[in-house]
Amino acid sequence: MTRLLDKVSLVTGAAQGIGLATALRFAREGAIVIVCDVKAAAVDEAVRQCQAQGGRAEGHVLDVTDRARVDAVVADVLARHGRIDVLVNNAGITQDARLQKMTLEQFDRVIDVNLRGVFHCAQVVADAMVQQGSGVILNASSVVGIYGNYGQTNYAASKFGVIGFTKTWSRELGPKGIRVNAVAPGFIATPILHTIPDKVITEMEHRVPLRRLGQPEEIASVYAFLASDDASYINGAVIEVSGGMSV
């Protein structure tokens, strides 16, 4: 499929997990993928993988908490390509602890990356999209941002906040031709789970009616759909992709 043919698509946190799967899916669908992540070697490898399957991609080292760097990357993309059609705000981190044990540093770091970083990228890209009269902004929320989760005060707050961003921006930017939606993944088999004991993974699987974890590619396929014209009347939505774990 080439539903995203020639669409300039900037993906943050694109060097591993859901972000990498999204970059690869977009590349296969014909997009010009702008791979952004914090580690240069990982960015280079993600770009290589996109190009190895025949896609077009370029990379930028980007810390989404650094507004000056966000400005610079977006300016470079606009100078090269003249437009940005899709932004996938995928970059995010976890630093878990119960409320009484969470440090201020843990709280601030997660909010800074997961919430402020999404704001930085969307605000800068929105200016370009408004000027061109079209665009799609896709935000990574989570089922934790809908239902909460033990030990994730900071993460839940950030992902609730992303939903608030999505609802608000869909109202503000919709009249200007820009669609804004969010995806709320459930338990997905990404490197972030590598430190979790097998017993806990099994318990997670049993909370899902499909009795398995999701794959990054299953989230990427939803992003690809939402970025495409097939989703032309979807705006302000939060799509849960969790195998039915909230049923």
Cα-Cα-Cα-Cα dihedral sign, residues 53, 220, 215, 62:
positive
Evaluate whether 224 touches 25 at the Cβ level (below 8 Å).
yes
DSSP letter assigned to residue 97: B
Of the listed 147, 150, 155, 223, which one is catalytic?
Answer: 155
| Rg (the chain; Cα; Å) | 17
State how far the Cα of 103 lies from the Cα of 216, in Å rounded to an integer: 30
> Which DSSP state fits 237?
-
Q: Is 233 a catalytic residue?
A: no
Q: Are 137 and 87 within 8 A, CB to CB?
A: yes
Active-site residue list? 155
